[in-house]
Amino acid sequence: MKKDETGDAIKVAIADDHILFRTGVKTALSMKKDIKMVAEADNGMQLLTLLKHVQPDVILLDIQMPIMDGITTLPEIKKLYPEVKVVMLTMHNDHSMISKLMELGANAYLTKNSDSEVIYEAVKTVFQQEYYFNTLTNKALIDGLRVKRQTENAMPTDAKLTDKEVTILKLMCEEKSTKEIADMVDLSPRTVEAIRDKLKTKTGAKSMAGLVMFAVKSGIIENK
Largest CA distance in the chain: 51
Instruction: Say if 143 falls within a structural domain.
Output: no
Alpha helices in the chain (DSSP H): 3-6, 19-30, 44-51, 70-80, 95-104, 116-129, 135-149, 163-173, 178-185, 189-203, 208-217
Regarding whether 163 and 109 lie in a shared domain, the answer is: no
- Determine the straight-line distance between the first and last CA of the chain, rounded to whole angstroms: 33
Whether the model clears a pTM of 0.75, i.e. scores above it, the answer is no
Angle at which helices 163-173 and 189-203 pack, to 10 degrees? Answer: 100
Q: What does the pLDDT look like over 117-173, one tens digit per residue? A: 999 999 999 998 888 877 666 666 656 555 554 443 444 555 788 888 989 998 888
Regarding whether 124 and 31 lie in a shared domain, the answer is: yes
Regarding whether 174 and 108 lie in a shared domain, the answer is: no
Q: What does the pLDDT look like over 47-93, one tens digit per residue? A: 999 999 999 999 999 999 999 999 999 999 999 999 999 999 988 77
Instruction: Say if 146 falls within a structural domain.
Output: no
Instruction: Say if 149 falls within a structural domain.
Output: no
Instruction: Say if 144 falls within a structural domain.
Output: no
Range of the domain at 206: 155-217
pLDDT attached to residue 151:
46
Instruction: Say if 124 falls within a structural domain.
Output: yes
Regarding whether 70 and 10 lie in a shared domain, the answer is: yes
Report the distance separating Cα 109 and Cα 131, nearest Å: 10
Regarding whether 55 and 17 lie in a shared domain, the answer is: yes
Instruction: Say if 44 falls within a structural domain.
Output: yes
